[in-house]
Amino acid sequence: MKNLILTASVFALLLCSCSHYYYVANVQNVPLLREKDEFRLSGFIGGWDESNCVELQSAYAVSDNIGILADFMTAWGGDFSDNDYGKGSYFDGAVGYFKPIKESGVFEIYGGVGVSSQHHEYSNLHYDSGSGNIYSEYGGNSRLSFLNLFIQPSIGFRFSIFEAAVSTRICRVTYTKTENNITGNAELRNELYEIGNIGHYFIEPAFTLRGGWKNFKIQAQIAYTGYMNNPKLYFYEEAHLSGGLYFNIPVKTKK
């Protein structure tokens, strides 16, 4: 029975352990604008295996072919009760070109820049079979910031009650700050140093579906994050699944 309790305790600790991700891709803003003065406003919840997030996005057509985007995300993940978690925020803006294709198609390409600020707390719990106590092997915290330069082409189709698009975002992420106050884990400190020492390239294909009414739809999006550097580092979340509400503000007709 004692061995069974010990095994169950260790297994529970393994289940509670979490990975710290220092890059979590946000929802790709794919507005499929077709004419001047169109305005899109949307809100989403999303995440994957370790992260949860809330996101807000907007898009506006300043002319018949030029659009601007603005996005905000706040994300968190881990075990807050055991003081082993991460949280942060991300904001980006972009400008780009869009081209209607026949009656329902749209091609668009946007380029932009994003910034992120993060805070992480670390606590690795260890079970001492001799005393039966649980204690922390290492702990501390870190603060990170990064700059994200990206380009995002996409192609899609717009109908009155249905929209679909395929997009791919290519990013260069550079960490401008990787401060840490971690004790008892030199490997983790070295990992943060390595992440902050080079630029990181990602390719992120995504598929977006929207359905509902002409000016109000429900959106779902699945995106994959591929790391293009060699050797490969594992500090990012490999996918992002999101869902939410999408509003199209109609263009005012001139008298």
Quote the pLDDT of residue 103.
92
Residue 130 gets which letter from DSSP? Answer: T
Q: Which tens digit of pLDDT belongs to each residue from 100-122?
A: 999 999 999 999 999 999 999 99
pLDDT at 248 over 60: yes
pLDDT at 51 over 80: yes
Strand ranges in 129-215 using DSSP code E only, listed in sequence order: 134-158, 162-183, 199-212
Mean pLDDT over each residue of the chain, to the nearest integer: 88
Quote the pLDDT of residue 83.
87
Q: Is 206 helix (H, G, I), strand (E, B) or coil?
A: strand
Q: Per the confidence metrics, is the pTM higher than 0.75?
A: yes
Quote the pLDDT of residue 130.
56
- Arithmetic mean of pLDDT, 48-65: 96
- Arithmetic mean of pLDDT, 159-182: 96
Residues 6+ apart with CB under 8 A from 182: 122, 138, 139, 140, 141, 142, 188, 189, 192
Task: Please give the Cα distance from 98 to 165 (Å, whole number).
Answer: 13
pLDDT at 77 over 50: yes
The DSSP result for 67-119, as a single string, is EEEEEEEEEEEEETTTTEEEEEEEEEEEEEEEEEETTTEEEEEEEEEEEEEEE
Q: Which tens digit of pLDDT belongs to each residue from 203-226?
A: 999 999 999 999 999 999 999 999
pLDDT band at 18 (very low <50, low <70, confident <90, very high): low
Domains of the chain with bracketed CATH: 2-249 (2.40.128)
Burial of 24 (0-12, 13-18, 19+ CB in 10 A): buried
pLDDT at 228 over 60: yes
pLDDT band at 129 (very low <50, low <70, confident <90, very high): low
pLDDT at 73 over 70: yes
Residues in the chain, total: 255
pLDDT band at 133 (very low <50, low <70, confident <90, very high): low
Q: Which tens digit of pLDDT belongs to each residue from 177-208?
A: 999 998 888 888 899 999 999 999 999 999 99
Quote the pLDDT of residue 184.
81
